[in-house]
Amino acid sequence: KTQPAGLAPRALMPIVAAAMERFPQDKQVQRQGCSALRAISLSPSSGLSACLEADGAKMLVAVMRQHLRDVDVCRTAATSL
């Protein structure tokens, strides 16, 4: 079963990264972005590679540093690592 090109990890990563970069102070965007990164990395079609090549792990660490006082954001980012 093939995955539609628009939902491929390599196609999704720039979209998620752009949203997270555009709204760095928005805790909800960051939390949802972390969840999306986790879902992308768990994708059986090279998701982890796509996530790592796009600096997904660095993005997750940056989110935790930026929102250190928000338990939900940090928990979501940590479980995504």
The model's pLDDT over 8-29, given as tens digits with 9 standing for 90+, comes to 899 999 999 999 999 999 999 9
CA distance 50 to 34: 15
pTM for the predicted model, two decimal places: 0.88
CA distance 67 to 30: 9
Within a 10 A sphere around the Cβ of 4, how many other Cβ atoms?
Answer: 7
- Residue 7 to residues 12, 44, 67: CA-CA distances in angstroms? 6, 12, 28
55, pLDDT greater than 90: yes
**Which is nearest to 18 in space by CA: 33, 8, 38, 32?**
33
Average pLDDT over residues 53-70: 95
Average pLDDT over residues 47-76: 95
1, pLDDT greater than 80: no
Residue 69 is predicted with a pLDDT of 95
